[in-house]
Chains A and B, each alone.
Chain A
């Protein structure tokens, strides 16, 4: 069998450093690790999602197979859209992605990237440093800093507001959704900015110089030259930040998913069901659904990449 495959694919033979058997032997340890820590849990989660397993109580030791019971509970349309239920979290997450990733991060990143093309190099570098700092700081530090910034009684923001005569706000309780949208935009704009920045740099400067000679405004250059040339980058960026934002857990550090589940994104919902209510079966079902949604994103992303390569 090994000889057959090597003769059929002479190309690979040219690059082979090891015999297929030795190669397989070297792959085995890694393969075993992947099997034990990735593939087995993957199927285990799918299996658990069909049981009513919990961590506490009778069903911890004697879970029962309940078929699609967990999925039916999640999609129970009597209370699907109620706060604290699966449907509410799903819709909230979609809104969160729309506002904070697509409108927030991508637009802000694009704007920043375009604006810093024309400023002096020092200003450009300083801007980049600050934006990237927001991106590379550890999540826990960021979460705490924002919590302290927004607190009603001792928060920095309210101190600033009152010092200029504006009324203080109770942001974390009264506008929790907009707080996490703003937070995530601030947090993630750096990635889009860097991506678009390098995309803009790849456009030959002569295009813009020619446009300058013709007297084009900045907006015209952006709309007619830059944007069409970086379309591929934009699609890549949108898909990546959509996936990341869809799965993000960091807003939990700001609002705990509350008040009253108003910021309970799907990842936070999953955490609550599995690790606060200890309903492993239902939690696993949520996990499987999230996995399927991510799979859809990933397929779109991969197919786009394939198209690009063909082109």
Chain B
């Protein structure tokens, strides 16, 4: 190397070393949110409120929002592969139920391990309710900050129920599975081409099948996916009843749109069915109200305040639900996590905690009210959310905090798909489920009832 080249090289090294502190830190944040598309409110909040305020308060830090427009399962896939190779966004939206399997796989580290012990000094922790803290907690460590929780219910099209002659269509409240089926049959009799009921099934909808479909029926039989001793229930009357309910809806009486359960974009089709009045009863989380159907969204229901109602999800028979309940529901929760391989852990934590300060969360509530995790953030002026959360949160259940849950959930989705496609009988589907789950968790961790 000539002297001149050497001088140049040293000069460059020196210059970059000096310039180091001046260089901006680039942060990336990802969520399954697209302005004008899925979870538009979240995207709008981050883009218009969080980023400008954070950048103003932290000169030298650039933040970029990746708007991920695919399905939940695809984001999970991308995050898992990114985190396993040390790539990916610095901060990411994350569904709490995935934390155990990611942590056990070495793909997530606790917040204090990533960003240092000062994480534990954050004032926000004191303002999170215990229930919401648990959403992002695994083995007594925080892996993210929870944003909020949710509840599930039956959404009704009051106009269609009234047209079909269902009594008290405005305040309709079924007390058993038969009540639901009867209402659906009445609608079907009036409109033979319609698919009155939507209970999610199939592989394409991913966790939405398990959470908004299978669980809601299974809890109504008095069972859960795991028993009280923590063993996975692989064969039981409750599973069979649940699968038979699917069969009644999708195969025997065609009360539901089986195509929407099988197609890749089926969940959107189910939303469109409800919007277009093809479906009158749809089981979903409050997400459906706050994020899918507001005015201006793709699946906005015209005249929503008058035509859309909600009802509690009944057990199979009164008193037959989990813990002897008449009505059942289940909650999950989402939040944001830190990438364990982030180049700028301090700044990433600064962003994460900044988003979860009351000032930012209130800005979020102004865009899209939801059930918040923080107790010091004003309850949104939304009669719907207040009413549903007060009624349903006392009845709610949570998914097992278990690293195998995700894999078992995939088997549940397959089991429902094989029934609604008419490929297997409920008995055969359950036998296959038993075999598959036994392989995942080991025979000693399963039980047949």
Contact = CB atoms under 8 A, between A and B. Distances in A.
A119 to B, nearest CB: 41
Contact of B435 (A79, A170, A173): A79
A277 B410 contact: yes
B423 A260 contact: yes
Given A256-B204, A258-B264, A277-B410, A60 B104 contact: yes
Interface footprint category on A: 20 to 34
Which 5 A-B pairs have CB atoms at the shortest separation, nearest pair first?
Answer: A60-B105, A259-B262, A56-B101, A56-B105, A260-B421
Contacts of A78: 435
B388 interface: no
A73 B440 CA distance: 12
B259 A170 contact: yes
A57 interface: yes
Contacts of A258: 203-204, 262, 264
A222 B104 CA distance: 65
A56 B80 contact: yes
Contacts of B259: 152, 170, 173
Given A79-B435, A260-B418, A57 B423 contact: no
Given A56-B407, A58-B403, A79-B432, 14 more contacts: A55-B81, A55-B84, A56-B101, A56-B102, A56-B104, A56-B403, A57-B101, A57-B105, A57-B406, A58-B105, A61-B104, A173-B259, A173-B263, A278-B80
Nearest to A172: B263
Looking at B102, B104, B414, B432, the one whose CB has the most chain A CB atoms below 10 A away is B104
A82 interface: yes
Contacts of B414: 84
A152 B259 CA distance: 10
B204 A57 contact: no
Nearest to B414: A84
5 contacts: A55-B84, A56-B98, A57-B101, A83-B423, A259-B263
Looking at B98, B106, B410, the one whose CB has the most chain A CB atoms below 10 A away is B106
B317 interface: no
A175 interface: no
Interface string A254-298: 001011100000000000000111100000000000000000000
B439 interface: yes
Given A56-B80, A173-B262, A259 B101 contact: no
Contact of B417 (A172, A173, A260, A278): A260
B299 to A, nearest CB: 16
B107 interface: yes
A181 to B, nearest CB: 20
A180 B435 CA distance: 31
A56 B406 contact: yes
A84 B418 CA distance: 10
A286 to B, nearest CB: 16
B139 interface: no
A154 to B, nearest CB: 12
A54 interface: yes
Contacts of A278: 80
A57 B404 contact: yes
A56 B264 CA distance: 24
Contact of B403 (A57, A259, A275): A57
* A contacts with B: majority SS: loop
B407 A277 contact: yes
A83 B203 CA distance: 14
Contacts of A260: 262, 417-418, 421, 423
Contacts of A173: 259, 262-263
B390 interface: no
Interface string B201-216: 0011000000000000
Interface in B95-145: 98, 101-102, 104-107
B251 to A, nearest CB: 13
Interface string A32-64: 000000000000000000000011111011000
Interface in A7-55: 54-55
Given A58-B403, A60-B107, A275 B203 contact: no
B2 interface: no
Given A57-B105, A260-B423, A275 B81 contact: yes
A260 B416 CA distance: 10
Contacts of B403: 56-58
Contacts of B406: 56-57
A152 B101 CA distance: 38
B3 interface: no
Contacts of B432: 79, 82
A256 B106 CA distance: 29
A258 B265 CA distance: 12
A84 B417 CA distance: 11
B168 interface: no
Contacts of B263: 172-173, 259
Interface in A135-172: 152, 170, 172
